[in-house]
Amino acid sequence: MKPSLRTAPGIVALLALTACIVNLSFDMKNSLALQSQTAGSVSQSVLFDLGKSQEVTDHKTQIKILDLDYADVTVSHVAGTAATVSGTLKLRTSLAPGATDIKVGDLGSLTLQVGTTKRLNGTPELDAFLLQQLHEQGTFYAVIDGTVDGAANVVLDVNLHASIGYDAGLF
């Protein structure tokens, strides 16, 4: 039996529902402290655990896409004489020697004033990295390597704005 033209839109709608991917945005936030007694190099890392995100745990087995839309690095505490920090934000699977870094972006010369924010856009490489971490250990590190232009006791908030695409499996 061949479907009529009147039933075709209904069949198409049912097929669309059976393969429905739902997109959901969420944030992963953490803070890291950069400290230096003098001008020079600074490096700090902070652990992110995908399992602590309710959006991820609610849909973990159905997630097909995990994207880093963008990252915000915001100065939340400043003490010392440093006026700027320059450096790079990277994601890393572990802190073991030889672990590979995936670059998120350069901070430029970030002014050390509370509230100053640098936005770094996501990339397909970062998306693939996050999806891989979800399916493996579920954790990763955000690492900032750089320099300060004076003595510093600074806290930077790293907010990863991400989105998941999961199979709603309605039928």
pLDDT at 152 over 80: yes
- The CATH code of the domain that includes 48 is 2.60.120.220
Asked if 119 contacts 48 with a C-beta cutoff of 8 angstroms, the reply is no
Question: What does pTM read for this prediction?
Answer: 0.85
pLDDT at 146 over 50: yes
pLDDT at 131 over 60: yes
pLDDT at 166 over 70: yes
pLDDT at 33 over 70: yes
Residue 92 domain-assigned (yes or no): yes
Rg (alpha carbons) of the chain, rounded to whole number: 21
Domain of 20 in residue numbering reads as 8-167
Residue 2 domain-assigned (yes or no): no
Between 86 and 58, the more confident residue is 86
Percentage with pLDDT > 70 across the chain: 87
Note the pLDDT tens digit of each residue in 97-120: 989 899 999 999 999 999 999 999
Residue 1 domain-assigned (yes or no): no
